[in-house]
């Protein structure tokens, strides 16, 4: 497969001696190699955009495409997090609270929100929290590329401004669009929330958000222009900027497509969700492969063996995590169909959103690039500012 071929492009020996692949990776600022990073950046973005175009052209395909996304990528990417939490004794001991206690706290909070306020609150939190989660994940990956590229402070600041302003404009634009549902779930967007909770007259809330969206649009495109000029200048002087530039272009394209260019909120969500899920699965594989690039660890045997870069190990890694995610989520789906849960209309929404919310919290804690332990595993020489 493309994924297998891309991942096979770097061998463990590259961490020991200056092979051509290692030199190529350093010169262009790739995470792993040109082949892997092309898959990670270009092909993942292309998959997301093409999927979005398909459902825009053929809306009747939305449900089957979403189901394929959830099975192959969405559930899989949640389970990928557990390779960091539970696949060896050391990781489990370190993250015991996140695995055994936090899920129940999040579930209790989600149930309480749905019971005392309504399922609209759960869906609304999901709409805005997933936007923040997607933005932060992309920002974290970009920080790794910035480190690889030896980006200057000026270039870094402009890139960060654009990385946040474009998504901010996108979510504001979605918020002022008409409609009170998201993936068939009832939601209350920002203008309605301002009216109901801050008692701002609805016309004033609507016009205020429209003005804020217009300002955000101007700032977003100005920041894009500033970043583009700085990035082009950097590319002329340093080939190490290539991967960073490519990644940031994909970030902006995906967020603009997902939140602005595609009119339907569900179709737009599909684009950014596929991108986020596939990107995360590959990034976690790369992290684990990088962490164990010197060979199989006796203390973390199972995960370190799965994370080796031979074709067999790669097939076993993705095969095992996909089978595991399928089994876990199939069990949850079957449980939701059994009494008394089957008689509770909101049970599925609450359960799956609680899983998502737990995932968001955990990811925000375990993937801090500024942590020296994470930098060491990623092969970054010095601390990345945050």
Residues contacting residue 378 through CB under 8 Å, at least 6 positions apart: 144, 287, 290, 369
Q: Write out pLDDT tens, residues 245-271.
A: 999 999 999 999 999 999 999 999 999
What's the predicted TM-score (pTM) here? Answer: 0.90
* Within-domain flag for 64: yes
Instruction: Say if residues 8 and 263 touch (Cβ distance below 8 Å).
Output: no
* Within-domain flag for 369: yes
The token pair that represents 171 in the structure block: 């979510």
* Within-domain flag for 386: no
Assign 189 to helix, strand or coil.
coil
The token pair that represents 354 in the structure block: 């609680």
Strand ranges, E, within 59-208: 181-182, 185-186
CA distance 212 to 219: 11
Q: How confident is the model at residue 2 (pLDDT cuts 50, 70, 90)?
A: very low
At residue 182, φ and ψ (nearest 5 deg) are -145, 115
CA distance 89 to 27: 37
Q: How many domains does the chain have?
A: 1
Least reliable range by pLDDT among 24-38, 48-62, 258-272: 24-38
Q: How confident is the model at residue 308 (pLDDT cuts 50, 70, 90)?
A: very high
CA distance 103 to 83: 17
CA distance 230 to 225: 9
Residue 16: per-residue pLDDT: 41
Q: Which of 72, 198, 162 is closest to 188 using CA atoms?
A: 198
Domain span at residue 169 reads: 2-378
* Within-domain flag for 28: yes
327 pLDDT above the threshold of 70: yes
Residue 4: per-residue pLDDT: 38
Locate tokens 């950097």: which residue? 234
* Within-domain flag for 298: yes
Mean pLDDT, the chain, rounded, equals 91
Q: Write out pLDDT tens, residues 112-123.
A: 999 999 999 999
Cβ count within 10 A of residue 312:
9
Assign 118 to helix, strand or coil.
coil
384 pLDDT above the threshold of 70: no
* Within-domain flag for 384: no
Q: Which of 82, 101, 35, 162 is closest to 324 using CA atoms?
A: 82
373 pLDDT above the threshold of 90: no
92 pLDDT above the threshold of 80: yes
Residue 371: per-residue pLDDT: 81
* Within-domain flag for 76: yes
């Amino acid at each position: 497969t493309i994924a297998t071929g891309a991942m096979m492009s770097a061998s463990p020996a590259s961490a020991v001696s200056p092979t051509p692949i290692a030199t190529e990776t350093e010169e262009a600022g790739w995470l792993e190699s040109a082949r892997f990073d092309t898959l990670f950046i270009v092909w993942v973005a292309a998959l997301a955009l093409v999927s979005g175009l398909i459902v825009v052209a053929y809306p009747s395909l939305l449900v089957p495409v979403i189901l394929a996304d959830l099975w192959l990528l969405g559930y899989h990417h949640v389970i990928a997090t557990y390779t960091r939490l539970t696949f060896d004794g050391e990781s489990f001991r370190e993250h015991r609270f996140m695995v055994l206690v936090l899920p129940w706290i999040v579930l209790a909070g989600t149930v309480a929100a749905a019971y005392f306020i309504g399922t609209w609150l759960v869906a609304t939190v999901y709409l805005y929290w997933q936007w923040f989660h997607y933005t932060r994940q992309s920002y974290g990956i970009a920080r790794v590329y910035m480190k690889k590229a030896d980006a200057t402070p000026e270039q870094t600041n402009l890139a960060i401004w654009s990385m946040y302003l474009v998504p901010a404009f996108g979510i504001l634009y979605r918020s002022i669009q008409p409609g009170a549902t998201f993936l068939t779930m009832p939601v209350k967007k920002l203008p309605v929330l301002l009216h109901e909770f801050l008692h701002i007259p609805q016309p004033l809330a609507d016009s205020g958000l429209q003005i804020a969206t217009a300002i955000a649009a101007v700032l977003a495109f100005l920041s894009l222009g500033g970043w583009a000029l700085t990035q082009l200048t950097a590319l002329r002087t340093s080939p190490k900027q290539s991967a960073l530039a490519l990644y940031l272009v994909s970030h902006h394209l995906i967020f603009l497509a997902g939140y602005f260019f595609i009119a339907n909120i569900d179709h737009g969500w599909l684009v950014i969700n596929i991108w986020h899920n596939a990107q995360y699965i590959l990034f976690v594989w790369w992290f684990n492969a990088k962490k164990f690039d010197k060979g199989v660890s006796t203390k973390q045997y199972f995960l370190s063996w799965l994370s080796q870069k031979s074709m067999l190990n790669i097939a076993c890694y993705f095969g095992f995590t996909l089978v595991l995610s399928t089994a876990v989520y199939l069990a949850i789906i079957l449980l939701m169909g059994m009494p008394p849960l089957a008689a509770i209309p909101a049970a599925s929404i609450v359960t799956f959103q609680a899983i998502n919310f737990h995932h968001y919290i955990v990811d925000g804690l375990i993937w801090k690039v500024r942590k020296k332990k994470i930098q060491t595993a990623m092969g970054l020489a010095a601390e990345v500012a945050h």
